[in-house]
Amino acid sequence: MKITKDNSLLLIIDIQERLFPFIYNNEDLKDRTKKLIEGCKVLGLKIIVTEQYTKGLGFTIPSLKESLEGITPMEKSQFSCCGSNGIDDTLKSEGKNFIIIAGIEAHVCVLQTVIDLCSMGYTPVIVDDCVSSRNNNDKTVAVERMKREGAIVTTYESVLFELLEDSKSPEFKAISKIVK
């Protein structure tokens, strides 16, 4: 099942100021997620960003917010991105099958989103090196469950080159520069 740019969008889940400092391996997560975002922008993918309860957790971290300029995050209170907060309508209107996912926390909001997306007929693509939790074991167990639920697990570099498809693509040099 090949992930294509014409049939994919990127979902960034809750990488927020007050929770981020406590996330396992957070600096690497930030750097890889920024590269994933930049690569998806080069490839022309739609990007959706969510923020969980901003009053308590703050907003998307500044270094990612720079890369997400012009994208208004969708605030939510329920853990899953799916449901009453409006993302379902956005997903339907985009008509994409593959939902590429980066975010925190893997064992709460990311996991519940993946379960809901699978039940709605989408194929979640978990970017393993762009998801994390406060405790690494929580992430490990959550990613295993996501696989059992039907998600594809990959890395940011792998998915960017899969979306690119061909070294003769006009975006090849830009993607190569991003992943270096």
Q: What angle do CA 177, 41, 10 make, to 5 degrees?
A: 120
Instruction: Indicate whether this model's pTM tops 0.75.
Output: yes
**Gyration radius of the chain's alpha carbons:** 15
Buried b (16+ CB within 10 A) or exposed e, 79-95: bbbbeebebeeebeeee
pLDDT along the chain (180 residues), means of 10: 94 96 97 98 96 94 94 93 82 94 97 96 97 97 97 98 95 95
User: What is the predicted pLDDT for the residue at 142?
Assistant: 98
Domain count, the chain: 1
Domain that includes residue 113, residue range: 5-179
Beta strands in 19-122 (DSSP E): 47-52, 74-76, 98-104
Task: Give backbone dihedrals phi and psi of 59, rounded to 5 degrees, phi first.
Answer: -105, 175
Q: What angle do CA 24, 30, 31 make, to 5 degrees?
A: 120
Are 80 and 107 within 8 A, CB to CB? Answer: no
Are 129 and 30 within 8 A, CB to CB? Answer: no
Residues 6+ apart with CB under 8 A from 58: 16, 17, 18, 19
User: What is the predicted pLDDT for the residue at 84?
Assistant: 65
Are 83 and 108 within 8 A, CB to CB? Answer: no
Closest CA to 133 of 117, 160, 101, 111: 111
Q: Give the CATH number, domain containing residue 23.
A: 3.40.50.850
